[in-house]
Amino acid sequence: MKSKRKGAYAEAGVNISAADRTKNLIKELVRPTFRPEVLTDIGLFGSFFKLQQYKDPVLVSSADGVGTKLKIAVLMDKHDTVGIDLVNHCINDILCCGASPLFMLDYIAAGKLIPHKIAAIVSGLAQACKEAGCALIGGETAEMPGIYKAGDYDLVGFIVGVVEKDSIIKGDTIIEGDMVLGLPSSGLHTNGYSLVRKVFGVDRDALQLKMVYPELGRTLGEELLEPHHCYFRDLQPFLKEIKGLAHITGGGFVGNIPRILPDGLSVEIDRTSWHVPPVFELIQKMGGVKDEEMYRVFNMGIGMVVICGHQESGRIIHGVPGARRIGNVVRTNGSERVIIK
């Protein structure tokens, strides 16, 4: 009589068959993102991309994750947007150097691989990559029982972009008097979720995510899963007119804008120059969070900061949806590099 006992690896918590089914689903999702420069299909030990049509190319790379926003996705059992978050976050980061995205790889690790759940995650990755013209050419799915709790997973991305050497945006041409513009965010993007989960107590009571707040006009969970906006298509036509770009992610205004400022310069930000979205006001009220901390943790409705000259600012404001002047570059007065008034 044949034994019906499962294989030893399956009994240890790793299902190779589920991994194989997952990979087959992934292949069908990612192929539509391929560009002509992609030379291989999914499945080899490496992914090939032929760089072409550049005079003096510089490759720009970055790695990032979605953070504890994944906990919201798990609690709501909705996984088709966190991939969008990951791709758009990574694209925005290399965009700050003037780079256009070429290709991306992802890493998904879970306590148990559930094929339809992984497929939902990858569908978001593929959607965002296709919209930005970025090829999703490879990745890794890992089943790691004992590391991740049941239902939990992690999602990380690695992106490579390209920029001509003479078009790199470094912020070194920024001068006193330049304009500081802000582009609207689509919500929290991918930062501050540990504080948000604590403020609303969603880890103790997931039903909090189903509550409808009048100021939001939808459930808290729907608001918190709003995908991270990608600024690449908006800003691509204006990159040659821009002196500096700061993606407002972890660390908020204070942690990100100084990364592109030359020594001796600061920026003054007028907080009354834009409308702070209701979700931030709700977080502050519910959690009793001070203004200073709000601007250090969250984007407060400004997802990307653009620094440019006076003449260029008018064209960018006219051509980029929602762009507005929110401040200006000044001489440093003390140690503060970002003064929010």
Architecture label for domain 11-167: 2-Layer Sandwich (3.30)
List the chain domain ranges: 11-167, 179-340
The number of residues making up the chain comes to 341
Cα–Cα distance between 218 and 66 in angstroms, integer?
22
CATH of 179-340, one of 3.40.50.150, 3.55.50.30, 3.90.650.10, 3.20.20.70: 3.90.650.10
Predicted confidence at residue 94, as pLDDT, reads 98
Predicted confidence at residue 9, as pLDDT, reads 66
Mean model confidence pLDDT for the chain: 94
Mean pLDDT confidence for 276-281: 97
Task: Write out the E strands in the chain.
Answer: 57-65, 100-110, 135-143, 153-164, 179-184, 212-213, 218-219, 244-247, 265-269, 302-308, 324-331, 338-340
19-23, 40-44, 331-335: range with highest mean pLDDT: 331-335
Residue 204 above 50 pLDDT? Answer: yes
Predicted confidence at residue 268, as pLDDT, reads 97
Residue 1 above 50 pLDDT? Answer: no
Mean pLDDT confidence for 284-307: 97
Task: Name the nearest CA neighbour of 151 among 197, 117, 121.
Answer: 117
Asked if 125 and 106 touch (Cβ cutoff 8 Å), the reply is yes
Residue 249 above 80 pLDDT? Answer: yes
Predicted confidence at residue 21, as pLDDT, reads 79
Residue 165 above 90 pLDDT? Answer: yes
Mean pLDDT confidence for 258-270: 97
Residue 313 above 50 pLDDT? Answer: yes
Cα–Cα distance between 61 and 64 in angstroms, integer?
10
